[in-house]
Amino acid sequence: MRIPFALSTPFSISCEQEKSPQTLSHLPANAYLCPPNGKHSMTRIFLTGYMGAGKTTLGKAFARKLGLSFIDLDWYIESRFHKTIAQLFAGRGEDGFRQLERDMLHEVGEFEDVVVSTGGGTPCFFDNMDYMNAQGQTVFLDVDVETLFRRLRVATQQRPILQGKSEEELRTFIGQALADRAPYYAQARYRFDGSRLESREQIADAVQGLRELLGK
C-alpha cells in the first residue's frame, strides 16, 4: 500500500533534490515524506526506543539516504485527529489512547517503502511488537540513561511528562522507564547504538551503520 498522496503532499521534498539546511529547517520536525522511486524492493522499517533515543533524527536521515518515506507515528496520529498527543491522552485516557495508537500503527504498517518512528511506549501494548516484526524490520535504538538524560533535560518543555522534575528526578524517571520497557524493546529483531547522533558526521556514520545492519 502506497502512502496516500494527500498525506505526503504538504511535506514532500524530492529525494533527488539538493536539500540545504535552510530547506530542511522549514519541514515539520517529524515529517519527511518522499515518493518511492520504484528502484528497490518494498521496504518497511520500524524504529523503537525511548524518547530522546534519536528515532526521528536517524529515521529521517536514513529515509532520505534510501529514498524512502519517513513517518513519525505520534505526528501521524496528531495530523489524523487534529489534536496533540497530550490532548488525546486527556480526552480518551491512556487505555483509549493506546487503542487508538494501535489502530494507527496498523494503518501505517500497511504503507510501503517507509521508515516509521514509533512512540516510546508503542512496543509495550497489545501485540504491537509482534505486529511490527511480522510487517517489516524492527530496530531498537539503544541509548544509555546518561545520554538520554543529557538530551531530555533541555527538552522538558516540549515533553509534558517530564515537566516539573528536578535533574535527579528526571534521571531516576528515565532509568525506571527504561527498565520497565526493556522486555518489549528487546523483542525488536535488531539492536542499534543510538548514542552517537550529535553531529552531521555522527548521523551520517549512523546511517551507514544501520544500512549495513539491515542489509540496505
Q: Give residue 163's pLDDT.
A: 76
Nearest to 29 by CA among 1, 68, 57: 57
Is there a contact between 188 and 116 (Cβ–Cβ < 8 Å)? Answer: no
134, pLDDT greater than 80: yes
pLDDT in tens, 66-90: 999 999 999 999 999 999 998 998 9
CATH architecture of 5-214: 3-Layer(aba) Sandwich (3.40)
Residue 96 backbone phi and psi in degrees, to 5: -65, -40
Q: Which helix (H) or strand (E) holds 76?
A: helix 73-81
Q: How confident is the model at residue 20 (pLDDT cuts 50, 70, 90)?
A: very low
The mean pLDDT value of the chain amounts to 85
* CA dist., res. 199 & res. 201, Å (int): 5
Q: Which helix (H) or strand (E) holds 140?
A: strand 137-142
